[in-house]
Structure 1
Amino acid sequence: MVARWVGFAVIAGLAAVGATAALADITASAAASFSQAGLEQVSNYMRREIATGKIPGAILLIQQHGKPVYYEKFGLRDVPSKLPMTDDTIFRLYSMSKPVTAVAAMMLVDDGKLSLDDPVAKYIPAFADVKVGVEKRDEGGKQALMLEPLQRPITVLDLLRQTSGLTYGFYGEGAVRKLYAHSGLYSGEFDNAEFAARLAKLPLVEQPGTVWDYGHSIDVLGRVIEVASGKSLFEFEKERLLDPLGMTHTAFYVADETKRPLIAQFMPDDLLPSIAGIKDPTERSRWESGGAGMVGTLGDYARFAQMLLNGGTLDGKRYLKPETVALMTSDHIGPGSGIAYTYLYFLGTHSGYGLGLAVITSPPPHKHWQAGEYGWDGVGGTFFYVDPKDDLFVLCMMQTPSHRGEIETELPILIGRAMRHSTRP
């Protein structure tokens, strides 16, 4: 029976993932949708990754029709201290913060306090004067960085779909990216207002609306939310989204000292460099990075994913209009968007991009993805994807910067194969 391999971990995990179904219901649901042998392969794969020293531990949830059909904790959250992975383990979410910030922004759109067509300069005036950096040869024949005016303003839509021209400085080549890396962008203490002001002094890497470019767009969106709402980013998210949704462990740092031992750690030899200015999750920072700064538990994020899968509702409360969720989970960049650096792009080259989420547009040949699936990941190793067709989502929490890519690729294949009545191989 399915109960054998899910074991008592499911019973313990039900409260964490916000489910109320009885174990018999979970067993029946899993048996109807998944093969026991297939899910045992999923478990065995995760155990091998731990046994070979690639990851310290992980928590994996598959939830279908609003109920967990697979939930298992693997390994340790901290290797040196041998602390086990537990339901209340706290993970650095990194870029899985982006969908949360995007939802917060779209709540303001639903409220009529924000419009996708609004120029960013309406909320942050310094962006009215931003320029685009273009590398050209000067009169002496030397390569030089020239500044050109905007062909059109950056809009809120550009921030949400990552077509603003804002980038990161930790990957790629080119003079603008080097400016980001060496400009002192993350020096000292600063808040969202100051960070947006610093970014506005740097040139864009492309004209707005022309290329999907992974960068600080969602961080600037966080500042737009603050101006539009009159609250700090966390205050607004906590009041309107996190607390009502039951995401009580999700924040920008772990304030309660007694809970800091719950933070999952990387393997001792797989530490993540300090990229994009992200601070230690035990240290309070004035900067609330909407693009990469949040921490949280699997249980919290499961409620967030289920709300999206439900079309904007959970437990009888509506957070987003159904048409807003549909808009967020539709492709907004289309073919020829110029996506580069695909190793940074969760769901790969077969995806488009919605508003804060990648969206499958053309499933790859091995068909472990389906058109319409959407999700995102974090550089520390967390990832999730939602499959509206099969009414399920998959959420994996781990802290493994070096091996996240291979696991993100392999797990969906194994899960797809475990599904009964599936066209996936």
Structure 2
Amino acid sequence: MNQISRVASSGFSPERLARIDRLLSEKYVGPGRMPCAQFLLARNGETVHETVLGNRDVERGVALTADTVFRIYSMTKPVACVALMTLVEEGLIALDDPVAKHIPAWKDLGVFSAGVDPFMTTPPARPMQVVDLMRHTSGLTYGFQSRTNVDAAYRKLKVEEMHGGHDLESFIGMLAKLPLEFSPGEAWNYSVSTDVVGYLVQKIAGKPLSQVLRERIFEPLKMTDTGFFVREDQRSRFGACYNATPKGGLKLQDDPEVSPYLQPPALESGGGGLVSTAADYMRFANMLVNGGELDGARILSPMTVRLMASNHLPGGKDLTELSRSLFSESTNAGVGFGLGFAVVFDPPKTLVPCSMGEFYWGGAASTAFWVDPVEKVTAVFMTQLLPSSTYPIRRELRTLVYSALTQTNA
């Protein structure tokens, strides 16, 4: 069976899928708005389309290849959450556990009311639970949001710095000294919560986070290029990262030949520290769409994946109703949040083609993935352009993919 016949038999139109290449080439890579673009699309675990365009290193004129290693930033979060859920399945931790049960230093965390440092606080309405960390309703924050006095305190202490002077233990110690932005469960705020998830994984498993991820996820799934730093044998495939300029161009942000990612980080960030390839992350996505198993390696049970991919926001609300974050994706109507990723629960409100129960997330350098359990579609998009809010590429890709799907399961 040739490629065109194979794609058509998967329920996709080859002619319509070609629009993806045109969009990425003519709108983004060709005009220099993005350095490169790699898009991998699969249905029922079989690849039906791949795009590889541009340069992974613009300054040196090095072309993008299918095995390029990317900084995936917040696409680390679903991986850390899957790791925690493997421990939940073993009965070692529960989603309704108070976080202070596992981090005693946090038992007296207060909610910000006034002040700069020292802060004035009030007691939370209820204790923070593990589920609050997974769904970003913990009251924690990110310093880069620059909205509040608490954000400023995060920046001053360099709480989020992966290649600085603190590790996960000292990271947890710093957070013990800072107030929460709101009482747990009261709102949604994108935050360092998933870094705390990574700490819990490390503490409960009794091993470094990197080792736990390798043993429980990467090795079973044969994700050979995913980790917290770029190994010596990967350096020739490591891409450069760029900032978008006001005029639509590119400015080098991280040179792959001198990048801090070439060395193991002080802080193994479950919230944003991994590097990976499109092929590796597609194996992770295919494990999820297949109910927690891939090629004989079972990571989670189907019921656990279903639990993760349900909307866990209080009151069944969506992100537009509950978000206090400046995060670029937080305005999505009809989209809630599960245990590690966003979840579509009202497709018409999103104003893009999608399925009920579809779940997804992205990274700061404009990378993205989604998993559609109804159509058995998985997609991974890789590039290296900061910030992720620069272009609406994620919504555009969804539109083009589903406009090419001519045989549906719904």
2:334/2:350 contact within 8 Å kept: no
Map 1:16-27 onto structure 2 (within 5 A).
Answer: 24=2, 27=5
Aligned to 2:77: 98
Q: Give the superposition deviation at 1:184.
A: 3.9
1:65/1:391 contact within 8 Å kept: yes
Report the AA paired with residue 227 of structure 1.
K
Number of residue pairs matched by the alignment: 391
Q: Aligned equivalents of 1:184 and 1:242: distance in 2?
A: 29
Instruction: Name the stretch that deviates more: 397-406 or 367-376.
Output: 397-406
| Residue of structure 2 aligned with 1:288, choices 255, 268, 279 | 268
Report the AA paired with residue 273 of structure 2.
G
Query: Is 1:330 aligned with 2:330?
Result: no
Aligned to 1:13: none
| Residue of structure 2 aligned with 1:231, choices 189, 203, 207 | 207
Q: Aligned equivalents of 2:212 and 2:84: distance in 1?
A: 10
Percent identity between the aligned chains? Answer: 37
Q: Secondary structure at the match of 1:80?
A: coil
Q: Secondary structure at the match of 2:282?
A: helix
Q: Aligned equivalents of 2:370 and 2:266: distance in 1?
A: 31
Query: Is 1:198 aligned with 2:174?
Result: yes
Q: Secondary structure at the match of 1:76?
A: strand
Alignment RMSD (CA, Å) = 2.4
Report the AA paired with residue 303 of structure 1.
R
Report the AA paired with residue 362 of structure 1.
D
| Residue of structure 2 aligned with 1:84, choices 63, 86, 89 | 63
Aligned to 1:312: 292
Q: Aligned equivalents of 2:76 and 2:331: distance in 1?
A: 17
Q: Aligned equivalents of 1:71 and 1:159: distance in 2?
A: 34
1:255/1:282 contact within 8 Å kept: yes
Assess, with a 3 A threshold, how the Cα gap between structure 1 residues 413 and 325 changes in structure 2: closer, same or farther.
same
2:334/2:344 contact within 8 Å kept: yes
Q: Aligned equivalents of 1:25 and 1:183: distance in 2?
A: 53
Q: Deviations over 1:128-154 (max 9, x none)?
A: 121110249xxxxx9x95311222221
Map 1:267-278 onto structure 2 (within 5 A).
Answer: 267=242, 270-271=250-251
Q: Deviations over 1:283-341 (max 9, x none)?
A: 32221000000001111101100000000011122110111000000000021752134
Map 1:6-405 onto structure 2 (within 5 A).
Answer: 24=2, 27-48=5-26, 49-135=28-114, 146-185=120-159, 188-256=164-232, 258-267=233-242, 270-271=250-251, 280-333=260-313, 334-335=316-317, 338-341=322-325, 343-345=327-329, 348-363=332-347, 364=349, 366-402=351-387, 405=391
Q: Give the superposition deviation at 1:70.
A: 0.6
Report the AA paired with residue 146 of structure 1.
M
1:91/1:296 contact within 8 Å kept: yes
Q: Aligned equivalents of 1:24 and 1:347: distance in 2?
A: 42
Q: Give the superposition deviation at 1:179.
A: 1.8
Q: Aligned equivalents of 2:287 and 2:149: distance in 1?
A: 41
Assess, with a 3 A threshold, how the Cα gap between structure 1 residues 345 and 186 changes in structure 2: closer, same or farther.
closer
Q: Aligned equivalents of 1:290 and 1:127: distance in 2?
A: 19
TM-score by length of 2: 0.89
Report the AA paired with residue 380 of structure 1.
A
1:271/1:401 contact within 8 Å kept: no
Report the AA paired with residue 411 of structure 1.
L
Stretches of structure 1 that go unaligned for 5 or more consecutive residues are 1-22, 137-141
Instruction: Name the stretch that deviates more: 93-102 or 309-318.
Output: 309-318
Q: Aligned equivalents of 1:209 and 1:199: distance in 2?
A: 18
Report the AA paired with residue 121 of structure 2.
L
